[in-house]
Amino acid sequence: MTAVPRRRLCVPKQKRRGVNDGGNLPPVDRGRGAYTYLFASFLFETTTWGGAYAYGVFQEYHTHNPASALYGKASPAATSVVGTLVLAGLHFSPLLTRGFFRTNPHLIKRTSMCTILIAVVSLIIASFFGGNIAALIAFQGIIYGVAAGITFTAVILWLPQWFDKRRGTASGVIYAGSAVGGTVFPLIINALLQRVGFAWTVRIQAAYTLVLMCIAIYLIRPRLPIPSRDAEPRRSLLRSLAPDGLKVLLRPLSLLYIGILVFHAGAFNTVSLYLSSYTTSLGFSPATGTGVLSAFNACAFVSFLTIGRLIDALSTPVLMSICATISALSAFFFWGFSNSLVLLIIFTLVFGATAGGFTTFLTPAAKDISSMNNQETSTVYLALIFLRGIAVVLFPLIAGTIYDSEKGTSFQLYGLGGFRGLVIFTGCMMLVPGALATVVSRYRKSLLVSGTTGATTG
């Protein structure tokens, strides 16, 4: 009889010493390993996504500060493309690299270290081309965004290993990192832009990005042993990169969730990109605009933690509907009639608190879709992020065409500074998730009553 070869595992040193091998794996939802993973993921989120949400400061600098080499040369729509493409890379890269990492799990950390270096080098190169919008789009936008997105993939792939019953809470803590980064980085970047200019600001950004992400990649690790290369089936590079198991996204429940996440992403990122510019259009200083943007992201921090906690206890569609509806109303009324800093701050607090933590719904949405269709959660999760990224790219570009800078000095009762169209656009986009979430709630109840699942109703 031919002997069956044993499955060889590449495990960390602590596992070889017997700490995590066999049946002695680290506990799920608690313990030092889970909390270390959570902290490392929080650092990744803070550096990558938080940095991306701070790009509004760069956009305001290029648009309104004569010290910028792009001042008067590039439109707000053109400069907003850079920040939009960073977010696009963060959204698109994880799904496109998932297959490769599943085939080669032993390369996850090595690849992440390489992409960290690529991201840092791309920022340094961008610092030498402050007056060239095409170069900034390529290096500060596309290359940096894609590299940072690949680095973040480990967080997504290993989350289900470390957290199960408390996954909503864990997701809220991780996503809160983007709010922390979006609060702190705008203040740092704005101060640096005023003191040392664009070039050295981006170089300093590259330096702290390198330090924080290296700490994160050192700390993060999977809960389960990593199969060696010899233990995995051989697949071609093209096949390993091709996403699989995505037909589930065509089912009714999936399409409803996709609509919710896509429209929210479009509205939220439009506000994130233009909030600082709106503040300065009212006559306030760039420092005030930065402060408003930081307050906006600080509210999102509270929102992430609160929604993450509520998800583990309450109905996800109901929470979605409430948050989206309040966000829409705040845009229509508080932002639309904001002719003073007080009203603008009220809008910032309300919209940031209700829409800021909406990304946390990705986790229960993916889990809901996968459980009803017998599909792997991480696949659905990455697909939802990818589709959300399309909205992140498309909707701000549409918003850029709606924004009328020529009306910046004219008096308007509603939507000052040429922002009337953006206000209405944002409010309408946030009404859609509220309505669709209500449909999701009723659709899920009908499935439970009829005893069917998404697999049979699609």
Q: Report the 10 Å Cβ neighbour count for 428.
A: 14
Reported in sequence order, the residue ranges of 150-237 that DSSP labels E, i.e. its strands, are 226-227
Q: Say whether pLDDT at 19 is over 50.
A: no
| pLDDT range class, residue 10, cuts 50, 70, 90 | very low
Reported in sequence order, the residue ranges of 257-297 that DSSP labels E, i.e. its strands, are none
Average pLDDT over residues 379-397: 85
pLDDT tens per residue across span 221-268: 888 887 765 555 555 555 555 566 677 888 888 899 999 999 998 898
Alpha carbon distances (Å) from 292 to 101, 201, 287, 321, 404: 39, 20, 9, 26, 22
Q: Residue 256 has which token pair?
A: 């409803």
pLDDT tens per residue across span 110-131: 899 999 999 999 999 999 998 8
Average pLDDT over residues 376-386: 85
Query: From CA 119, how far away is CA 147, in angstroms rounded?
Result: 5
What pLDDT is attached to residue 323? 93
Q: pTM of the entire structure?
A: 0.78
Spatial CA neighbour of 417 closest among 431, 436, 403, 398: 403
Sign of CA dihedral 332, 182, 117, 37: negative
Q: Residue 286 has which token pair?
A: 């760039």
Report DSSP state, residue 66. Answer: T
CATH fold of 28-222+247-448 reads: Growth Hormone; Chain: A; (1.20.1250)
Alpha carbon distances (Å) from 338 to 145, 257, 335, 414: 33, 32, 5, 8
pLDDT tens per residue across span 135-180: 999 999 999 999 999 988 888 888 888 888 888 788 888 988 888 8
Sign of CA dihedral 437, 352, 149, 264: positive
- What is the residue-wise DSSP string for 116-130? HHHHHHHHHHHTT-T
Q: Say whether pLDDT at 7 is over 70.
A: no
pLDDT tens per residue across span 435-445: 999 999 888 87
What pLDDT is attached to residue 458? 34
Q: Using an 8 Å Cβ cutoff, are 299 and 356 in contact?
A: yes
